[in-house]
Amino acid sequence: MITQNNKESFLQQGYLILDWKIEDGIIDELLNDLDAHYTYNSPHYNLNNRVENAFKFSDPVLNLANNQAILTAIASLMDGKFFPFQTLNFEKGTQQRLHSDWFHFAPSNDSGLVGVWVAFEDTDDSNGALEVVPGSHKLPYSYPEDLGVEKGSKGEPYKYYQDYEDAIEKLVQANNLEKKLVPLKKGQILIWHSNLIHGGSKILDTA
């Protein structure tokens, strides 16, 4: 159940950890179903350890993406009806630099998109836990030209992506904002605003 305090925290911080978890058995079934589906043939580091839209072939992924309790929580937070449109399953932390999902997906309604992460293992400062910049969702929605960055093309979408990442780092510094590590326990659920700046922390323990 989403409380008024939950809503206020989400509005102020840009993210919220729900106060309940997905059961271990559901996660373990999903992990077994995705075993051996990860590939390492992409030139871009953030694509090398993920399965995109696994819901198309994996019932456990599809069922989790349509989890009614999660969708109800999102609807309550955002005061509207929501539906899942994409799944990304990561084998390990992305170690991706700071960015906003809005930059990648840009819905017609700026506030009409949130991200949901269900932790499939305990995450901490050694294995690539999520990093967020609390309050950064209140910054203006920025297109490449707003950040002084060249646009990529359909054939080379990541050509100028490092420039975008550099610009985001500078934006955070210019607004005196700070990164915060968000460790999660297996099964915990984190919801974040589409414009929240976030990334993946460094993986120190590769065992």
Tell me the pLDDT of the chain (207 aa) as tens digits. Answer: 899 999 999 999 999 999 999 999 999 999 999 988 887 777 666 677 889 999 999 999 999 999 999 999 999 998 888 899 999 999 989 999 999 999 988 777 877 899 999 999 999 999 999 999 999 999 999 989 999 999 989 898 889 999 999 999 999 999 999 999 999 999 999 999 999 999 999 999 876
What does the pLDDT read at residue 45? 64
Count of CB atoms situated within 10 Å of the CB of 142: 18
Q: Which pLDDT value is given to residue 107?
A: 79
- Model pLDDT, residue 49: 83
Burial of 48 (0-12, 13-18, 19+ CB in 10 A): middle
Residue 46 has a pLDDT of 64
Q: How many residues does the chain have?
A: 207
Q: How far apart are CA 167 and CA 142, in angstroms?
A: 11
pTM attached to this predicted model = 0.93
